[in-house]
């Protein structure tokens, strides 16, 4: 059922978002544009380490070994009780896809997911750790860029976030598979998936800070599609499947100038960035080693040495192999109900 809800919501999104720029900062905190240490400290909420860098996107935690799939935007205002009262706004026009009012069900706490269609790409923004969600923010409701959707909070399923670290956890993401719940149940029989297709594991994050700064640098020349297509490559795999959900959903990421006919295509060579985003797909007529095989074709060793936090590939002796999490990601990308 949730698969069809996902597709229905997307049908309501306009063919192209006309918002300019593509994304706005979803709070009133503008310290991102102050490139000084003080500016960073005013914008990024740190973990318990106190390091502002830990509020950034990427391999920023546990000495680079833990991944943070978003940015944590620090509060700027508090009420008389010392609780954050910053308003949260939609980063771009779109449709509300999911609202979780039960903080105990997710480490996101109370959270909202909004879907957007930008340059032909299906994009989602996630707003987490909220204290209050506006009454009009319900699944299926269209929202304009800058529309008030919530109030910043400290909610999570593991107690609460310290007041001094109150923040909005914000993600700009791509959805992996509309069949996520079926994949999850097959992998975890008897386990509960409280959020269906809107489970955080079913999304792959882009770097919001980089997107914001590229928008400013390039102005009207900024292209989200171009931003995604020009990610740094970590590894490439061959998947012996000629049709699968990610390939159908993100057609703009598939190489167009292939001279292969549909009958010749045995699968796709998929290139991933260091954080697991499959940003380039190329049709292939490679002969698979066995049916439905997954083959690791190439790893950029210098990139691997810089980004270890996702753990999607690992080195054994002189050879690289896909890790269990790397294989799980590809299986989810290509899973068909």
* Per-residue pLDDT tens over the stretch 127-159: 999 999 999 999 999 999 999 999 999 999 988
The answer to whether position 224 is within a domain reads no
For residue 312 the two structure tokens come to 């999607």
Secondary structure letter of residue 254 according to DSSP: B
CA–CA distance, 199 with 228 (Å, rounded to integer): 22
Once rounded to an integer, what is the mean pLDDT over residues 248-270?
91
What is the pLDDT at residue 311?
97
Tell me the pLDDT band of 80, cut-offs 50, 70 and 90.
very high
For residue 225 the two structure tokens come to 């599609």
What's the CATH number where 206 sits?
2.70.70.10
For the ranges 13-27, 210-224, 255-269, the lowest mean pLDDT is seen at 13-27
> Over 90: is that where the pLDDT of 1 sits?
no
3-state secondary structure (DSSP) of residue 55: helix
Question: Which one, of 191, 224, 109, lies nearest residue 156 by Cα?
Answer: 109
What is the pLDDT at residue 9?
56
> Over 70: is that where the pLDDT of 322 sits?
yes
> Over 80: is that where the pLDDT of 8 sits?
no
- Give the pTM: 0.94
186 and 259 both lie in a single domain: no
> Over 70: is that where the pLDDT of 299 sits?
yes
* Per-residue pLDDT tens over the stretch 179-213: 999 999 999 999 999 999 999 999 999 999 999 99
Residue whose structure tokens are 């490139």: 35
Q: What does pLDDT average to over the chain?
A: 93
Residue whose structure tokens are 């290509």: 334
Tell me the pLDDT band of 4, cut-offs 50, 70 and 90.
very low
Q: Point out the domain boundary residue: 217, 239, 266.
A: 217
The answer to whether position 278 is within a domain reads yes
Q: What percent of the chain has pLDDT over 90?
A: 87
Residue whose structure tokens are 């490679």: 286
What is the pLDDT at residue 145?
96
211 and 318 both lie in a single domain: no
Q: How many Cβ atoms are within 10 Å of 284's Cβ, its own excluded?
A: 22
Question: Which one, of 127, 143, 126, 335, lies nearest residue 249 by Cα?
Answer: 335
235 and 213 both lie in a single domain: no
For residue 19 the two structure tokens come to 């918002």
DSSP string, 254-278: B-S-----TTT--EEEEEE-TTS-E
DSSP string, 145-168: TT-EEEEE--B-SSSB--GGG-EE
Residue 291: domain span: 231-334
Q: How many Cβ atoms are within 10 Å of 296's Cβ, its own excluded?
A: 17
CA–CA distance, 247 with 260 (Å, rounded to integer): 16
* Greater pLDDT, 113 or 257: 113
For residue 201, count CB atoms less than 10 angstroms from its CB and return exposed for 0-12, middle for 13-18, buried for 19 or more. Answer: middle
């Amino acid at each position: 059922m949730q698969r069809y809800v996902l597709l229905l919501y997307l049908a309501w999104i306009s063919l192209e978002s006309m918002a300019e720029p593509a994304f706005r900062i979803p709070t009133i905190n503008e310290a991102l544009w102050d490139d000084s240490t003080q500016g960073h400290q005013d914008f990024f909420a740190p973990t318990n380490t106190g390091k502002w860098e830990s509020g950034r996107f990427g391999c920023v935690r546990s000495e680079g070994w833990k991944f943070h799939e978003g940015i944590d935007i620090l509060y700027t205002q508090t009420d008389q009780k010392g609780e954050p009262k910053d308003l949260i706004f939609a980063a771009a026009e779109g449709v509300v896809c999911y609202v979780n009012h039960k903080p105990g069900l997710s480490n996101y706490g109370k959270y909202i997911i909004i879907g957007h269609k930008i340059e032909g790409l299906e994009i989602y923004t996630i707003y987490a750790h909220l204290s209050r969600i506006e009454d009009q923010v319900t699944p299926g409701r269209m929202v304009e860029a800058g529309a008030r959707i919530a109030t910043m909070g400290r909610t999570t399923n593991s107690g609460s976030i310290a007041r001094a670290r109150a923040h909005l956890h914000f993600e700009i993401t791509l959805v992996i598979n509309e069949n996520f719940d079926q994949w999850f149940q097959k992998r975890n029989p008897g386990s509960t998936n409280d959020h269906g297709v809107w489970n955080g594991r079913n999304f792959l994050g882009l770097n919001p800070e980089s997107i914001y700064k590229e928008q400013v640098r390039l102005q009207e020349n900024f292209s989200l599609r171009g931003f995604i297509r020009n990610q740094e490559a970590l590894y490439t795999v061959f998947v012996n499947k000629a049709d699968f959900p990610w390939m159908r959903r993100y057609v703009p990421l598939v190489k167009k100038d292939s001279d292969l006919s549909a009958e010749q295509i045995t699968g796709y060579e998929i290139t991933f960035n260091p954080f697991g985003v499959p940003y380039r797909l190329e049709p292939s007529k490679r002969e698979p080693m066995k049916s439905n095989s997954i083959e690791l074709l190439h790893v950029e060793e210098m990139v691997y040495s810089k980004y270890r936090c996702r753990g999607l590939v690992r080195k054994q002796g002189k050879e690289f192999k896909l890790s269990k999490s790397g294989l799980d990601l590809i299986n989810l990308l290509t899973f068909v109900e």
